[in-house]
Amino acid sequence: MIEIKNAVKYFEGNCAVNHVSLEIPEGILFGLLGTNGAGKSTLLRMMAGILKADEGEILFDGKSGYENPECKAEVCYLPDSPYYFPNAGLKEMARFYEAQYPKLEYESVRYMADMLNLDVDLPLRTFSKGMKRQAFLILALCAGTKYLLCDEVFDGLDPVVTEAVKSLFRREIKERKFTVAVASHKLQDLEDICGSIAILHKGGLVRAGDMRKKAENIWKIQCVFRETGAVEKLKEKLEVLRGYQDGYFVTLLVKGRLEEIQSEIWKLGPVFSGEMPMTLEEVFLAEMEETGYDIRKVLQ
Amino acid sequence: MISVKYYSNWIKEAGRGHLTAFFCWGGFLSYTVFSLLQLGADTEYTFFGVGSSGLLKLCMGLGLLLAAAEYFYLLQPAKLDFYYSLPVRRGTVFWCRYLHGLIHFFMPFILSMCTCALYESSVEKRFLTEAGAYTVRSLLIFGTVFLLFYHMGIFVIAASGRVVSAMGLLAVLLFSGQVVFQCICAVYGKRLFDTFYRVPLWERLQELLIPYKLSGKLAGDGIYEMRKVWEYVPGKGICLAAVFWILLLLGGNFLMQKKRKTEAAGRMFAFYQVERAVVFFVSVLAALSAGSVVLSVSKMSVQGGESGMWKPALALGISALVAGALVHFLQQRLFRIPGVRNKKRFLQLAAEEAAACIVIGSFLLAAPQFDAFLPEKKQVEAVGICVSGLDMGWQEYKTLARGEDNYTAEEKMKQYRFEADGLEAGIEWIYKLRERNERETAEDYTFVTVCYFMKNGQEIYRAYPVDRESFHAFSAVYESTEYKERAYPAVLKEEASEERFTWSDGALEQILRLSDEEKEALLTDYKKDIGELKMADLEGIYPCGMLMMESQVKGKITKAYIYPSFVNTCRSLKMAGIEPDRDILDYPAESVIEREALEGIYKPGSALRCTSPEEIEALRGRFVSQEFDVQTLLCPFEYSKEAEVMIEDPESGAVKKIDCYERIR
């Protein structure tokens, strides 16, 4: 388990990570969501032991990873733009990683590279952005570490490869309790794979955890009324987090018991009323608006 | 075990630094080939180790280049993220690279030195006995030079976050000492201290504080004599200074490696303290340098004691304050770190300005004391005196300037170093000179540069203005036995039989066929003439010739200028068949070209060529060979008029060109 306890990081007087506390359980894919400058990459770098926390601590299975090679041998970090030696190919990088991560086997790298049609001998500098990312994902997955920290991992990957990578993650998570922390500024990237998500904004943690669980008593309801003004009437009686009206068509995000909500809606005599499934984004919107936070500032 | 494993991995990783290998192996291969070629041609003045300025530059350069090649990652955020994310300690990465650099330097270096030593031993038999010690000394000395620059290179990179700031910091470390001593201390000394010549302590500090000067001193740079180079061992002080610097920088590197944050890459400086120190130091230097410029441009000096001090004090103070503030704000702009309070910045500016003012104030306040310094006789072991224009020709005289460090003055002070009656007379003369300087404001005629060799081992230098009367009063020193021995070293010769006497009249040379007795008689006569010589005798009298005594055993040549007033010597010379009063135009002359010259440059259109016997005859007695210009003040020539006299050697018929000055009529 990764425990982030009250982590703080300042850059030249600016607070990049502001008292963030998180727990990332084992065997899940955890998403770190936020706009540019929210502090997700800084938090990932702190977790990877690259940056030292000015306050607080980050523990992997109870041990600090900073300047602790034994602990870091179980953590692999994949940055937004991975570094590789000049003129080095995947083969050479794999040999280097092999020396750093004892569980890495070159043959597995070669096998996965063949699957993704990557030439291990070609210099990485000749690869496209997506190919480089695939190459480093192969290294990261083959490193055999317990934890993988990825920054904007799906950026630059085409939909087919994105799906392939996601299924690889799922397989590894299932097979060996692999824990992946992924930072992204796109909610769509994480929607179908992340069990838990943390939202960062201006260095602070806005929300974290399994959002669907947290949104268990929030409902998305779509109705059609014969007259306008239904939203205002419902707001008086129900805890409406968000309500849109487009002519006679109304979409509501309401908190409460479903039966009570439906009963109040039917009292207004709608032509149609039905519960709709919520996207992760809507779950967030609901969660955030419940706390009075302007989520548009966080999600772009 | 883990540690061993990581180190071995990281040594291999550091091995990716092909640049390091290329620089070192390539550099030493080239150096070895070049040295072997040179040693094949000459072993007298070619040195592959100590005494080689090429090796010195190579080691200094490699030190910096290797530091840059090995530690450039500290300035690259992406590379830092990569290395620091791996399961390895930062210290492992840092020190493995350090070791990698050392290995790649010392392996080819040792090979190169051994190859050169073997080769020189095979071609130079005299080197055989010295080869081992010389090679080991060279390895130790140049290894130390390399370490000094290697550590310095690592230091500047570790303390900086960008290439530009690393270069700036390196420049500060390399050149600030030179700025302090040569652009600030020397200028302030010359302009503010009336009797300033040089301060040996400053020179010593330069050797110890300026890295390349320290390295040069350590490596015996500037020594050219084979035997001296082979046996050269640097002084204890220099060795200690080098070791001190190496350890200090190593300690600094160790601390910075521990404390340096990853996010430092990309900032100007990795540490706030380094930034503050650089801003402080550079601002103070700028403030003081501005004062130097003001002093140099305005030719301002402290005269008239404390009352004359306010003007330079004001000018220096204002220039220093303005320049210091400008440079401070400029640096602040360049290095600005958000989040640091302005109050602190202003406090630092105030501290910088205060430091500059304190230094300027110290110079101004020290000036009267400096100029008033006169040692007590009992404290002085010896005194070296160089009176500008006395016992020197025009060419030497014009290179001298009061307060300027000069080779001629140094050589003269070495030559005229008095410890016996010369010391007594010299100190007495200086006392009177200083008394006169303080009492009267007579016009400066010339100046004297003095070195007091104190009994405590100190050397204290001063330059005093000399008026005409004091110059003539110098005769008391001139006529001392010690002075004459230094000025006319032929008087020290005890035996003349081993000498070969040659007479030169400025045009041609003639070997004297003398028996041992005649030689002894000639030397005795010369000694007698010198013994009776008064300084006043030399006024307005040009030498009529020069007697050269060449030792048949040692080969050393002693020159003795002969004046017409040397009655005894001239009589002996006449007996040997020499005409001491022969004019240059007594020889058959082909032509005489007269030119007007100013500061060594001929005035265009001033040349006048005389070729007819009548014209040449009219010039008789006007020209003297430039070789005989030995008393610029006592017996000057018309230095603005030079002549080329073409004479014919009556014996061989060869034509010879004689450069002459015109006598003052």
| Total domains, chain A | 2
Q: Rounded to 5 degrees, what are φ and ψ at A81?
A: -120, 95
Please say if the pLDDT value at position B581 is more than 80: yes
Q: Which of A12, A67, A73 sits opposite B337 (nearest CB)?
A: A12
- On whether both A66 and A90 belong to a single domain, the answer is yes
Least Cα separation, residue B62 to chain A (angstroms): 23
Least Cα separation, residue A48 to chain B (angstroms): 6
Please say if the pLDDT value at position B461 is more than 60: yes
- Between chain A and chain B, how many beta carbons pairs sit less than 8 Å apart? 69
Express as a percent the part of chain B with pLDDT over 70.
94
- On whether both A103 and A159 belong to a single domain, the answer is yes
Which of A165, A182, A210 marks a domain boundary?
Answer: A210
Distance CA B469, CA A246 (A): 115
Angle at A169 between CA A164 and CA A175, to 5 degrees: 125
Average pLDDT per consecutive 10 residues, chain A (300 residues; last block may be shorter): 91 87 88 84 92 92 89 91 87 90 88 88 88 90 90 82 84 85 81 80 80 74 84 84 83 85 86 81 68 56
Question: Is A198 a member of any domain?
Answer: yes
Residue A299 is predicted with a pLDDT of: 54
Contact list, B2 vs chain A (CB under 8 Å): 69-70
Question: Is A77 a member of any domain?
Answer: yes
- On whether both A106 and A143 belong to a single domain, the answer is yes
Please report which confidence band the pLDDT of residue B337 belongs to, taking 50, 70 and 90 as the band edges: low
Please enumerate in sequence order all residues whose Cβ is within 8 A of that of A104, keeping only pairs 6 or more positions apart, or say none. Answer: A94, A97, A98, A139, A142, A143, A144
Question: Is A24 a member of any domain?
Answer: yes
What is the average pLDDT across B613-632? 88
Residue B19 is predicted with a pLDDT of: 82
- On whether both A170 and A240 belong to a single domain, the answer is no
Contact list, A73 vs chain B (CB under 8 Å): 87
- On whether both A252 and A125 belong to a single domain, the answer is no
Residue B559 is predicted with a pLDDT of: 92
Please say if the pLDDT value at position B178 is more than 60: yes
Question: Is A294 a member of any domain?
Answer: no
Question: Is A200 a member of any domain?
Answer: yes
- On whether both A232 and A193 belong to a single domain, the answer is no
| Tokens linked to B612 | 């007819």
- On whether both A273 and A182 belong to a single domain, the answer is no
Express as a percent the part of chain B with pLDDT over 90.
58
- On whether both A156 and A235 belong to a single domain, the answer is no
Q: Which of B6, B7, B19, B86 to mutate to test the interface with A (most CBs of A within 10 A)?
A: B86
Q: Identify which of B644, B642, B638, B484 has the alpha carbon closest to the alpha carbon of residue B561.
A: B484
Question: Is A75 a member of any domain?
Answer: yes
Distance CA B658, CA B319 (A): 54
Least Cα separation, residue A107 to chain B (angstroms): 20
Residue B5 is predicted with a pLDDT of: 54
- On whether both A45 and A111 belong to a single domain, the answer is yes
Please say if the pLDDT value at position B338 is more than 80: no
Residue B308 is predicted with a pLDDT of: 66
Question: Is A285 a member of any domain?
Answer: no
Residue B259 is predicted with a pLDDT of: 93
* A202 Ramachandran zone, left/alpha/beta (phi>0; psi -120 to 50): left
- On whether both A113 and A187 belong to a single domain, the answer is yes
Please say if the pLDDT value at position B257 is more than 90: yes
CATH code at position A264: 3.30.70.100
Residue B2 is predicted with a pLDDT of: 43
Query: Are the beta carbons of B378 and B316 closer than 8 angstroms?
Result: no
| Tokens linked to B496 | 């003349």
Which of A187, A210, A233 marks a domain boundary?
Answer: A210
Q: Which of A15, A42, A68, A72 to mutate to test the interface with B (most CBs of B within 10 A)?
A: A72
Q: Is A256 helix (H, G, I), strand (E, B) or coil?
A: coil
- On whether both A7 and A73 belong to a single domain, the answer is yes
Instruction: Tell me the pLDDT of chain B averaged across its residues.
Output: 89
Q: Is B247 helix (H, G, I), strand (E, B) or coil?
A: helix
Contact list, A95 vs chain B (CB under 8 Å): none
What is the average pLDDT across B233-253? 95
Q: Which of A74, A83, A124, A146 to mutate to test the interface with B (most CBs of B within 10 A)?
A: A83
- On whether both A181 and A56 belong to a single domain, the answer is yes
Residue B342 is predicted with a pLDDT of: 63
Which residue is associated with the tokens 């006529």? B479
What pTM was estimated for this model as a whole? Answer: 0.83
Q: Identify which of A46, A64, A36, A35 has the alpha carbon closest to the alpha carbon of residue A10.
A: A46
Please report which confidence band the pLDDT of residue B358 belongs to, taking 50, 70 and 90 as the band edges: very high
Q: Which of B6, B81, B261 sits opposite A69 (nearest CB)?
A: B6
Contact list, A82 vs chain B (CB under 8 Å): 82
| Tokens linked to B321 | 């304050």
CATH code at position A69: 3.40.50.300
Spell A52-86 as b/e; 16+ CB within 10 A means b: ebeebebbbeeeebbeebebbbbbbbbbbebbbbe
Determine the structural domain holding residue A123 and report its residue range: 2-210
Please report which confidence band the pLDDT of residue B1 belongs to, taking 50, 70 and 90 as the band edges: very low
Question: Is A287 a member of any domain?
Answer: no
Contact list, A76 vs chain B (CB under 8 Å): 85
